[in-house]
Structure 1
Amino acid sequence: MASVCEICGKSSKTGFNVSHSNKKTKRKWNPNIQKVRAIVDGSKKRVNICTRCLKSDKVTRAL
């Protein structure tokens, strides 16, 4: 499953784990993407949406 929100475009971000001795190793932060049935253009469709968009009612769920 693609980890990109189809509403806001949020995707994974990269950075470093930094230890106490300041040694850096690469890491990744993934967004909380859920596969949800939603009403898009008047029809029910399965979309990948981040939980922030779900919580702020940017999309209406189809039950």
Structure 2
Amino acid sequence: MSKVCEICGKHPVAGRNISHSHRVTNRMFRPNIQKISIKEPNGHVRKANVCTSCMKAGKVVRG
């Protein structure tokens, strides 16, 4: 499954974990992507990879 939101374009971002002793390790911040069926403006229903923040904000019409 794709790791990019088809609505807002949110994608994984690299960062670092920093412990109390200041040891640094790499990590990834991944968006919560779900595959849902959406209704396009032309009336067709299709599957799309959408992040949960877009679903909660109402940016997508579910089909």
TM tier, smaller: over 0.9
Q: TM-score, normalized by length of structure 2?
A: 0.92
Three-state SS of the structure 2 residue aligned to 1:54 is helix
Q: Equivalences for 1:43-54 in 2 at 5 Å? A: 43-54=44-55
C-alpha distance in structure 2 between counterparts of 1:19 and 1:42, whole Å? 50
Amino acid paired to 1:7: I
Q: TM-score, normalized by length of structure 1?
A: 0.92
The CA deviation at 1:33 is: 0.4
Amino acid paired to 2:53: R
Count of matched residue positions in the alignment of Structure 1 and Structure 2: 62
Over 3 Å off, 4+ runs: none
Aligned partner of 1:56 in structure 2 is 57
Identity of aligned residues (%): 47
C-alpha distance in structure 1 between counterparts of 2:29 and 2:10, whole Å? 11
Specify every segment of 5 or more residues in structure 2 that has no aligned partner in the other structure, as ranges: none
C-alpha distance in structure 2 between counterparts of 1:45 and 1:31, whole Å? 21
Q: Equivalences for 1:1-63 in 2 at 5 Å? A: 1-40=1-40, 41-62=42-63
